[in-house]
Structure 1
Amino acid sequence: MYTEELIEIKDIDSYPNNLPSIDYKAFADDLNKIRNEISTDLSEKDFKHLKKIERWGRVCTLLGYSTSWIVPNPISAFLISQGNITRWAMTTHHIIHKGYDKVPNIPERYTSKKYAVGIRRFIDWFDWILPEAWNHEHNILHHYYTGEVSDPDLVEKSMDIVRKSKIPAFFKYIAILFFMSTWKLSYYAPNTLWILQQTKRKSKKNREVMEKIPAGTYPGSKLLIPFSKGSGEFLLKCVLPYFLARFVLIPALFLPLGKTAAVFVLINSILAEIITNLHSFLIIVPNHAGDDVYRYDTGITDPAEFYVRQVAGSVNYNCGNDITDFFHGWLNYQIEHHLFPDLPLLKYQEYQGKIKEICQKHHVPYIQENVFKRFSKLLKIMVGKTDMKKTSTIPRKARA
C-alpha cells in the first residue's frame, strides 16, 4: 500500500476525471479484505514454490552452459537467458519487494534484508544492474508514482523525442530494436544508478529529482560518457564486474576443453545476453503502456486512489499456471503485483481471479491480453502513433 507521499489537492476542478464512476471507499475496502485474507494464508508452501521456480531457473542455466561449448546455438543461449530472467524477474524481484519476509520459517537469506545485499549480490543476483539502485528506482519510484511524470518507467515521457521526431517510422523501429537488445546495460543499469546517486547526493525527495528530468531523456545516459560525474562508480560497480564474470571468467572455465570450446561459450553468452534483453523488454515494458492504459499528471491523496490508479495504469498478460508464468517472468500478474507488491509468487496465481472480480464489480478498468498484443500497443506508443489515456482520479476531499 502507498505510504511514502500523499498530495494535498487544493483546486479540485482542475483535475478532470475520465474514469468510470467508482466507489473508491468500497473498492478499497474489498481489496483490503482480500489483502487480509492473503496475509493469513501465507505458509511454507509459498517458500517451497519459490524454491521450485528457483530450481527451474538453475536447471536452465546448467543445461545452457553444459551444451554451450559444443557449438553456438540459440537453444543453449535461450536456456542461459531463461536462468538469468528467473534470477531477476522471479526470485530477486519478489524477494527484494519483501514478498517472503512474512512467510513462516523463511531462511534469512531469502528475506529483503539479506538477499543480494553486499557481497551476496555476487551470489543471489549478479547482473549489470546494482541491486540497491534497482530497489530504489523500481520498488519505490516506479511502484509508488506509477503513471505519473515522476515514474522513471513512464514510456510516453521517456520516448517523447522519438515520438515527436519527423524521421520515418522504419528508422524509429530500428532504433527501438537496438535499444531492446542492449537496454539492461544501456538504460536500466545507468539510469537506476544515476537516480540513486542524485537522491543520495542532493538529499532531495524522490519527486523533486524525477520531475526535473526533461521529457524524452533518460539521465543515466550521462554515466555512459567516460570521465563524467558518477561514471567511475558505474564502471566499477556495474560494468566491469559483470563483464569480466560473464564474458571472461565463465568462457575461460571451458579452456580445458580447448580454445574453440571457450570461444563457443563466449558466443553463446553474448547471444544469451541479447536474448535476455529482448525477452525482459517484451515482458516488462508493455505492462504500463498502450492507448487503453491511463497515465496521470497529479499525485494521489489517499490509498484508495492509489488502488484505482494501479489497476487502471497496469496490464496483465495470460496467466494461471507455473509454466506460462515462468516464461512471462511472473510479470503477467502486474495488476495484482502493483496493488500488493509484497506477496509471494504463488499468491498472485491463487488470488488473481478474485482480484479481477473485485475490479469488474467496481467498474475499475482491468486489462488482460496476450503479451504480443500488448507489445504491439507499446510500439505504437513509442513511435508516436497512439497516445496513452490521461486522467486524474478523484481526490479524497472531492468524494465527501
Structure 2
Amino acid sequence: MAITDINEYTHLTESDVEALGAELDALRREIESDRGVRDARYLRRAILAQRILEVGGRIVLLGSRNRLLWLSGTSLLSAAKIIENMELGHNVMHGQWDWMNDPEIHSTSWEWDMVCYSAHWKHSHNYIHHKYTNVLNMDHDVGYGLLRVTRDEPWQKKHAAQPLANLFLAATFEWGIGLHDLELKEYFQGIKPKEVAVPQIKDFAKKVVRQLAKDYVIFPLLSVGSARSTLTANLTANFVRNIWAYLVIFCGHFPDGAEKFTEESLVDETPGQWYLRQMLGTANFDAGPAMAFMSGNLCYQIEHHLFPDLPSNRYAEIAVRVRQLCEKYDLPYTTGSLGRQYWQTFRTINKLTLPNSMLIASSDDAPETASEKKFAELRAAATERGKRIVAAGEGKRDGLKTAIAELKLRRKALRAR
C-alpha cells in the first residue's frame, strides 16, 4: 500500500539520501545567488506580453459579431488567461519573484484572474500540497476528493461515474480549485469550525461576484451591440484556460511513475527524503520553449516540486542538473510526451472506476502506485543466491532505476519459461 520506507523503495542508503539532499541544497543556493536582471527582465516581458494579448483580445471583441473577429479575439483572450493563470499567477503566488521586492509582483499581493481566492489557494496548494505531496489522506490534490487515482483509496459506488466527473472537473477546473480549500463537506458535517469556514465562504463569494461581473456583465456591456458574442467569447476563453490548466496539472501528477506515500513515510522524514518524495511523486512532459511558457514551465513539474519558489524561467537549466543527479543515484526521471502522460492519466482514471477485486495488479505494484513490497521477489531471489538485490554495474550505485529494470527482466524470463 503506497511507499512507507522511501530509502528501501529507492534502494539507497541513508548516506546516499543525505548526499542527494546536499547536492540539491547546493543547486538551490547556486540558483538563488545567480538571480538578477535577466530573471526580472523575463518576468516583466511575460507580464507585458500577457497584457498586450488581453487588451488586444478585448479590443477585437468589440466587433465580435463578425465571426472572424470573434475567433481572433477569443484566441487572444484565451492565451492571455492561460499565461496569467499559469506563468504569472501560479508562479508569483509561489513566491518565485518575492526577491525582487516589487509590491505589485509579490506573493502577498497578487490576485489572479479566476474565481479561486488567492489566499485559499496558497493554503491548499503552497502549504498542504507541496508539503505533503502525494501523501494519502493528507495531500487533498490526490484526486481532488472527486477522483480515485490510486488503488490505495477504497472503492466507492461514486467512483463508477468518475469518467464523467473527470470531464466535468476539466471543464470547470477553476471552480474545483476555488472550492478546494473551503472543505464544505467538512463544514456541513460539523468537522470544520464555523468561525473558520464562514469567513472563507464570504471571501470566495466576493471573488466569484467580481469575476462573474467582469467577464459576463461589464465587458459584454462595453461591447455595444456585441454584448452576446463578447459574453460567449469570455465564456469560451475561461473554458479553454480551464482545460489547459487541468491538462498540465494532471500530466504532472497522475501518469505512471508518479508514486503515492503513506502517512508513516513522514515520520522523521529528512530533507533528503523530502526531496526524494518530490522527485518520485511528480512527472514532467516534454515541451519546447513556447509550450513551456504556456504551461507556466510546469512541464518541469519535478523541478517545480523540488524548488517551488525558484524562478520558473530557470527550471529548464535546473532540469539538466536534476537528470544528472538521477543518473548518478540511479533514479528514474519520469517524463514523456504530453499525449503519453495524459493517456496514462486518463487510463488510470477510467480503470479505477472498478473495485480492486476486478483489477489485476495490487496496490504494491501497479502502474499508478507501488510500494517497497514491489521488490519482494527480487529480494527473495537475491537471498537464495546470496547476492545483492540488483547489480547496477561497477562504480555505479544500485538504485531504483536498476531495480525496476531487473524486476522487468526477471518477470519476462519467468513468463518465457
Give the TM interval when normalised to the shorter protein.
Answer: 0.7 to 0.9
Count of residue pairs the alignment pairs up: 341
CA distance in 2, matches of 1:177, 1:200: 29
Equivalent position SS for 2:172: helix
Equivalent position SS for 1:368: coil
% same residue = 24
Which residue number in structure 1 is paired with residue 350 of structure 2? Answer: 383
Report 1:33-52 matches (<5 A). 33-52=26-45
1:33 shift after superposition: 1.5
Equivalent position SS for 2:210: helix
Which residue number in structure 1 is paired with residue 384 of structure 2? Answer: none
Which residue number in structure 1 is paired with residue 202 of structure 2? Answer: 233
| 1:130 has 2:123 as partner | no
Which residue number in structure 2 is paired with residue 337 of structure 1? Answer: 304
Contact in 2 for aligned 1:315/1:367 (Cα 8 Å): yes
CA distance in 1, matches of 2:102, 2:157: 55
1:392 shift after superposition: 6.5
1:76 shift after superposition: 2.9
Counterpart AA for 1:192: D
Report 1:65-214 matches (<5 A). 65-68=58-61, 69-70=63-64, 71=66, 73-103=70-100, 106-113=101-108, 115-116=109-110, 121=111, 125-149=112-136, 150-155=138-143, 158-160=146-148, 164=155, 172-185=162-175, 187-194=176-183, 201=193
Distance 1:99 1:240, change over 3 A: same
Distance 1:156 1:291, change over 3 A: farther
Counterpart AA for 2:211: Y
Which residue number in structure 2 is paired with residue 214 of structure 1? Answer: none
1:189 shift after superposition: 0.7
1:152 shift after superposition: 1.3
CA distance in 1, matches of 2:159, 2:37: 55
1:38 shift after superposition: 0.7
Instruction: Give the structure-1-normalised TM-score.
Output: 0.76
CA distance in 1, matches of 2:4, 2:150: 29
Which residue number in structure 2 is paired with residue 211 of structure 1? Answer: none
Report 1:214-253 matches (<5 A). 233=202, 236-253=205-222
Distance 1:142 1:173, change over 3 A: same
CA distance in 2, matches of 1:142, 1:373: 24
1:176 shift after superposition: 2.1
Contact in 1 for aligned 2:4/2:371 (Cα 8 Å): no
Which residue number in structure 2 is paired with residue 21 of structure 1? Answer: 12
Which residue number in structure 2 is paired with residue 396 of structure 1? Answer: none
2:291 to 320, 324, 343: 324
Equivalent position SS for 2:104: helix
Counterpart AA for 1:289: F
1:271 shift after superposition: 0.9
1:81 shift after superposition: 2.0
| 1:275 has 2:263 as partner | no
CA distance in 2, matches of 1:295, 1:60: 39
Counterpart AA for 1:286: C
| 1:304 has 2:284 as partner | no
Counterpart AA for 1:376: W
1:140-197 Cα deviation digits (max 9, x unpaired): 001011011211111296413998467998x653442222111211x111112338x9
Counterpart AA for 2:46: I
| Unpaired runs of at least 5, structure 2 | 353-365, 374-417
Contact in 2 for aligned 1:20/1:363 (Cα 8 Å): no
Contact in 1 for aligned 2:4/2:261 (Cα 8 Å): no
Equivalent position SS for 2:182: helix
Equivalent position SS for 2:183: helix
**Greater Cα shift, 80-89 or 383-392:** 383-392
**Greater Cα shift, 83-92 or 148-157:** 148-157
| Unpaired runs of at least 5, structure 1 | 1-12, 205-222, 224-228, 394-400
Contact in 1 for aligned 2:285/2:336 (Cα 8 Å): yes
Equivalent position SS for 1:57: helix
CA distance in 2, matches of 1:379, 1:41: 40
Which residue number in structure 2 is paired with residue 362 of structure 1? Answer: 329
Contact in 2 for aligned 1:78/1:275 (Cα 8 Å): no
1:254 shift after superposition: 1.1
CA distance in 1, matches of 2:159, 2:31: 50
